[in-house]
Amino acid sequence: MPGPPPVRLRRARTSDVGAIARIYNEAVLTTTGTFDLRPRSLPDRRRWFASHDRRHPIFVAVHGRSVVGWASISRWSDRPAYDATAEVSIYVSAPDRGRGIGARLLHRLVRAGRESGLHTLLARVADGNAVSLRMHAEAGFVPVGVMREVGVKFGRRLDVHLLQLLYPSGAPVARPRRARGGRRPGRD
């Protein structure tokens, strides 16, 4: 008798935005994995989805026909000097946590960042999330600092650990992209 279908990873599609929003909003209401305090609307999640591109992809974990987790690489900053730096996010639905889905998604992000020519990936992990800290360490992220008491959620002041993965250097440094509106990089 065959077992349950395996979880597979693939690039997210616009048809996945509803499931992505559901999983994210569950985390908003029940975890310190995000410092959002109110669920995000579907139009908001659609705009967020549209802000991603080939260099900043979104992946989903699919079990059977259901999206059970997602992960993204997002711009760290809109300032051109940060073009080769991005931030990772990973969310897994509550019933599916503890099955290694988050780790698989993170490893897929690490591979995607390398393939797209990023130089560094950053992650922010709220204090008390030992599983996420360990998962990032196993994927090659190292701690670079702790921001003390920067967030308040569920009535507690929370520290945030900043983690970084540097890809091996060797490629020439690319010129920063020109800022929108004709401004020169570095002029705020």
Show the domains of the chain with their CATH numbers. 7-169 (3.40.630.30)
- pLDDT (tens digit per residue) in 15-60: 999 999 999 999 999 999 999 999 999 999 999 999 999 999 999 9
- pLDDT (tens digit per residue) in 63-82: 999 999 999 999 999 999 99
Task: Write down the pLDDT at residue 170.
Answer: 58
Contacts for 154 with CB less than 8 Å, ≥ 6 apart: 32
Task: Write down the pLDDT at residue 169.
Answer: 76
Task: Give me the mean pLDDT over the 133-144 stretch.
Answer: 97
Residue 179 clears pLDDT 50, i.e. is over it: no
Task: Write down the pLDDT at residue 173.
Answer: 55
Structure tokens belonging to residue 148: 């003390």
Q: pLDDT band at 182, cuts 50/70/90?
A: very low
Residue 187 clears pLDDT 90, i.e. is over it: no
Task: Give me the mean pLDDT over the 73-96 stretch.
Answer: 96
Distance of CA 8 to the CA centre of its chain: 18
Q: What is the value of pTM for the model shown?
A: 0.87
| E strands, 29-154, in order | 58-63, 66-75, 85-92, 120-126, 142-153
* Strand partners for 142: 164
